[in-house]
A and B are shown apart, each in its own frame.
Chain A
Amino acid sequence: MTSPTVAVIRTESRLFARERLSLFWIVLFPSLLLGVLGLIPSFRESSTDLGGRSLIDIYVPVTVLLSMIMAAIMTMPPTLTGYRESGVLRRLGTTPARPASILLGQVLVHAVAVAASSVIVIVFGRVAFGTPLPESIVGYVVAYVLALAVSLGIGAAITAVSPNAKTGQVVGMVVFFPSMFTAGVYFPVEALGGTARDIISFTPYGAASNALNDAAGGAFPHLVDLAVMGGWAVGLYLIAVRAFRWE
């Protein structure tokens, strides 16, 4: 006899495995992007502007963040708002299972997909382009967990403030582009300097990008970057918890 929560999580995993498009964007697309960028010769040259690193080195943490953005902002909110809209959450509420278990299941399957994607990106970058493995393992894990927490917080807040799946998608898109920009997907914000850089450092993905890059280079991430992510995460979860509606 399996517990209700385990049964719900197992079902969520099965259903998630059927979402081929989501899986592509979360698990494969980041590596694909890294592969395409790595084909450009200048991306593989180390640059003194980047502290002796090459652009492709910097794109490894960026593509790690990309999978988090895809999972937490593009996939999870429409799924959950859809569950609410189609009455799945309410229906589950009529059973001994707690509807919260479906939220837990969604967070878990997305977190696992992101983790798989990150491992693939890091190993692929290493094998294909000789990008460095994270040197400060502890620092990387701390930065990674915080980045994932803040990502899921963004997803949770989008879900909570969107009355239906359609709005969820619109709000998701509005958040998606700045997230992509601050994470450095469009161009390496690492290379920016001055005020623009400082402002970006106070966004969740700007801070995440800094922290992951520091850890990748062997240094423990700056506490201010970790604090920025932690602060955003707490704020976003507060919004999510206050605004969330089951029906």
Chain B
Amino acid sequence: MDRPRRSDGGARRTAPGGEAAARITVQEALELWSAIHPDPEPWAPLAERLGLGANLRQRFENLSGGQQQRLSIALALIGRPRVVVLDELTTGLDPRARREVWDLVRDVRDRGVTVLLVTHSMEEAQTLCDRIAIVDAGRIRALDTPAGLIDSASAATITTFETSVAIDLAALRELDGVTAARSENGTVTVEGAEGVALAVVEALRTQGVAPQRLRVAAGSLDAAYLDLTDTSPETDAMEALR
């Protein structure tokens, strides 16, 4: 399904007919949508909660991208849907508008509406989703909670530390569960499965190195995504056979 290209997250219409549609005011759009649904959610409180209360008399074409997006969401909610599909909701929004929309999505979810969110932003998926399906080349590669996905990735934890002396990176790479180890400007980063951090500390002690600024962080969903969608030549061959 192709959809209109959006550069600013909203739909700033440029086509002549689109201009006609864009001259509708916020209130008119809300009233129209209320009139065409059998049991509409009262639009006034909805607009208020979406921060559109002050814009009711404003025309769609004069709203900011974020406001247009919020009106769009309001219209989607008026019909009391049980499921909403939100596709690339925050693409092109500034960080503040993004967070406002995120609050809104949480709000929708808390009212018992199932939200299917389509996004390219791992940050967004990690903050908003209860469950994430990673789709690659049209197939679901993984379906789990954000934490579950990160844990299952080969780089579930990221261990970093600083050291003033040269260390044996090769020895670290041979440790059980370590997927990558690199050193940059005196900072060593070791990626690996759960429990790698302890093994690294142990290994450093045997090397006689005292790590400074030792940090252990959970791997990011970004890393999990890259890991899960990594196409080896083998899978490429499989795709080719289809």
Contact = CB atoms under 8 A, between A and B. Distances in A.
Interface residues of B, number: 24
Interface stretch (B18-26, B121-129, B212-220, B229-237): B18-26
B28 interface: yes
B36 A82 contact: no
Interface stretch (A52-60, A84-92, A211-219): A84-92
B107 to A, nearest CB: 21
B17 A80 contact: yes
B226 interface: no
A246 to B, nearest CB: 13
A15 B79 contact: no
A85 B17 contact: yes
Interface in B1-36: 3-4, 11, 13, 15-24, 28, 31-33, 35-36
A16 B20 contact: yes
B44 to A, nearest CB: 17
Contacts of B99: none
A128 B23 CA distance: 37
B25 to A, nearest CB: 9
Contacts of B19: 82
Contacts of A80: 17
B24 A86 contact: no
Interface string A18-33: 1100000000000000
Given A165-B15, A165-B16, A166-B15, A86 B36 contact: no
Contacts of A1: 35
B35 A82 contact: no
A88 B4 CA distance: 11
B159 to A, nearest CB: 48
A8 B3 CA distance: 24
Nearest to A77: B17
Contact of A95 (B13, B20, B31, B37): B37
Contacts of B18: 82-83, 85-86, 88, 165
Interface string A65-103: 000000000000011111111111001100111000000
B15 A164 contact: yes
A11 B24 contact: yes
Nearest to B16: A78
A169 interface: yes
B11 A87 contact: yes
B208 interface: no
Interface in B135-162: none
Nearest to A102: B21
Nearest to A5: B36
B112 interface: no
Given A11-B32, A18-B23, A85 B4 contact: yes
A82 B32 contact: no
A14 B28 contact: yes
Contacts of A48: none
Contacts of A95: 33, 36-37, 79
A15 B33 contact: no
A114 B152 CA distance: 67
A81 B17 contact: yes
B17 to A, nearest CB: 2
B95 interface: no
Interface in A152-192: 164-166, 169
Contacts of A3: 35
Nearest to A12: B20
B36 A97 contact: yes
B9 to A, nearest CB: 15
B16 A96 contact: no
Interface string A185-215: 0000000000000000000000000000000
Nearest to A22: B20
B4 A96 contact: no
A7 interface: yes
Interface of A: 1-4, 6-8, 11, 14-16, 18-19, 78-88, 91-92, 95-97, 164-166, 169
11 contacts: A1-B35, A7-B31, A14-B24, A15-B24, A78-B17, A79-B20, A82-B20, A86-B4, A87-B4, A91-B75, A96-B36
